[in-house]
Amino acid sequence: MFLSTDRLLLRDFVEDDWRAVLAYQSDPRYLRYYAWTKRTPEEVQAFVGRFIAQQERQPRLKFQLAITLPATGQLIGNAGIRIKTAGGHEADIGYELDPQYWGCGYASEAARALVQFGFERLHLHRISAQCLAENVASARVLEKLGMRLEGRLRDSERFKGRYWDTLHYAILDPEWRKASS
Ligand SMILES: CC(C)(COP(=O)(O)OP(=O)(O)OC[C@H]1O[C@@H](n2cnc3c(N)ncnc32)[C@H](O)[C@@H]1OP(=O)(O)O)[C@@H](O)C(=O)NCCC(=O)NCCS
């Protein structure tokens, strides 16, 4: 499974990808908005293993793809679209990037490719996403996709000794088609 964009190649994970994932998931900038305080090789091997297992499921519901730079093959993050139930009309998306590559528009480019895939090839009706309210860069990625803010859940997460609000966004197929035409 591949998705190409102007600057990126999104491809299925392979086992050996865990090393590149561990390298960026160990960066404190990456860890800031997650419950994790560090990552171990075993945890990241299991993380990548779950994405590989998803590739085998028929029908496939989850497409969690490695974000790579085509010129070098460098893995710089991951992004996924996950259908909620078989035969269902809704999926959610998520993404993460190696902090060395933040601020280049790559997350927006990868997320856009996933939403396009969801509406045009998976024929979904609704695609949603959520982020911590303080994760301004992530909220901005969703807004740039044309997603609408549907709600803010106060203190809906608890980790690192405190509560966090979450923002819930979604876009519907007709909204996407209108914005893309
Ligand atoms: C969220 C994440 C993927 C965004 O990556 P990115 O490379 O910054 O994304 P993009 O460059 O495509 O877009 C980010 C947008 O947020 C804006 N932004 C970034 N930091 C910001 C800040 N502190 N305040 C305001 N805007 C900010 C950027 O300017 C850009 O908007 P613009 O194109 O209108 O200028 C990245 O920060 C990341 O991997 N974080 C760790 C994992 C994570 O949080 N994943 C999301 C979980 S919900």
Q: Is the pTM of this model over 0.75?
A: yes
Question: Could you tell me if the CB of 33 is within 6 A of ligand 1?
Answer: yes
How far CA 77 is from CA of 6, 66, 164, in Å, comes to 16, 6, 24
Q: How far apart are CA 123 and CA 109, in angstroms?
A: 20
CA 79 to ligand 1 center in whole angstroms: 14
Residues 81-140 pLDDT 10s: 999 999 999 999 999 999 999 999 999 999 999 999 999 999 999 999 999 999 999 999
- Asked if 169 and 130 touch (Cβ cutoff 8 Å), the reply is yes
What is the set of domains in the chain, with CATH numbers? Answer: 2-180 (3.40.630.30)
CA 47 to ligand 1 center in whole angstroms: 23
Which residue's C-alpha comes closest to atom 16 of ligand 1? 137
* Residue 168 confidence class, pLDDT cut points 50, 70, 90: very high
Q: Of 5, 54, 45, give the one whose Cα is nearest residue 21.
A: 45
Question: Could you tell me if the CB of 81 is within 6 A of ligand 1?
Answer: no
